Amino acid sequence: MRRWSKEEIEVLRKVYPDAGAKKVAELIGRSVDSVVAKAKELGIRRKRKVVWTDEMVGFLVSNYNVMTMDEIAEYLGVDSVDVLNKARQLGLKKNHHGRVTVVVDDEYVTLEPDDIIMLYENGYFDNLELRRLCRFKFFRDYINSKIGGVLERH
């Protein structure tokens, strides 16, 4: 493990409180985990606390299984660590076994592929929303086989 230089620690002290671990890691060429560990060791904390709105929580829950942490963080304008912490607080778990959590009539619902097909056929999702839900190949292939290729790329 490489020792931290005085310059790296200076960047950590100046940048981490406002911009977070990902930005520091990019600037000094270290892993995010390494930056977080060093910040904790030195007692450096983030200045801002994310205030999660209902819309942000809804987006997180709806997209947790179909987007990466970085994609969600970028969309919401927060750090990926904030996304991970909120997901843990909400009890969300990554699920790559054919189920997706979505918002239906203002409720968080975990759906099987057949449920998604039924909701699509009843107008709850348009083609764009269906594509977003079906980012995983096995999920997309299954739904295509049931709906007749609606998700085929042209």
Backbone angle region of 57, left / alpha / beta, with phi > 0 → left and psi within -120 to 50 → alpha = alpha
Look up the pTM and report it: 0.43
Q: pLDDT by residue (tens digit) across 120-154?
A: 788 877 777 776 666 656 667 777 777 776 666 54
Backbone angle region of 62, left / alpha / beta, with phi > 0 → left and psi within -120 to 50 → alpha = alpha
Q: pLDDT by residue (tens digit) across 31-66?
A: 999 999 999 999 998 876 788 999 999 888 888 877
